[in-house]
């Protein structure tokens, strides 16, 4: 699971912590959610939107855990309505599934 190449790359790139499982990974291995001004929390598909962000592995389990703990809201110090939370979760779930489909390792 952790090849020597991965370990070497880890030292060269910034690591981010998944709010679901707490593992640290490279930015490209994580989905980023960003708190925008006026538009609430959005999935940052390109990882470049300005603003405070939180990260999640491309794993449904991490999303579930984060959702249960309201980890995204707590990290960003905001509160979402149940509708907003549901929409966000759905969007991230679809993104995770697509990322995993596009990855030949899965
Ligand atoms: Zn995770």
Is there a domain that residue 2 lies in? Answer: no
Is there a domain that residue 72 lies in? Answer: yes
pLDDT of 46 reads 86
pLDDT of 14 reads 84
Q: Locate 67 and state its tokens.
A: 């959702």
CA of 65 to the centre of ligand 1 (A): 9
Is there a domain that residue 8 lies in? Answer: no
CA of 21 to the centre of ligand 1 (A): 4
Structural domains counted in the chain: 1
Distances (CA, A) of 54 to 11, 38, 89: 21, 17, 14
Is there a domain that residue 5 lies in? Answer: no
CA of 66 to the centre of ligand 1 (A): 9
Is there a domain that residue 6 lies in? Answer: no
CA of 89 to the centre of ligand 1 (A): 14
pLDDT of 19 reads 98
Range of 51's domain? 15-101
pLDDT of 81 reads 93
Distance CA 85, CA 70 (A): 9
**Domain containing 76 — which CATH number?**
3.30.1230.10
Q: Locate 31 and state its tokens.
A: 């989905």
pLDDT of 39 reads 83
pTM of structure: 0.81
pLDDT of 17 reads 96
Is there a domain that residue 59 lies in? Answer: yes
pLDDT of 92 reads 97
Extract the residue ranges of the chain whose pLDDT is less than 50: none
Is there a domain that residue 87 lies in? Answer: yes
């Amino acid at each position: 699971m952790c090849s020597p190449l991965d370990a070497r790359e880890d030292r060269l790139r910034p690591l981010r912590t998944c709010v679901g499982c707490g593992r640290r990974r490279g930015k490209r291995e994580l989905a980023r959610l960003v708190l925008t001004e006026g538009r609430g929390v959005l999935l940052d598909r390109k990882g470049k939107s300005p603003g405070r962000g939180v990260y999640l592995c491309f794993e449904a389990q991490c999303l579930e855990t984060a959702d249960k703990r309201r980890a995204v809201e707590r990290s960003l110090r905001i509160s979402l309505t149940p509708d907003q939370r549901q929409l966000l979760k759905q969007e991230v779930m679809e993104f995770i599934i697509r990322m995993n489909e596009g990855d030949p390792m899965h």
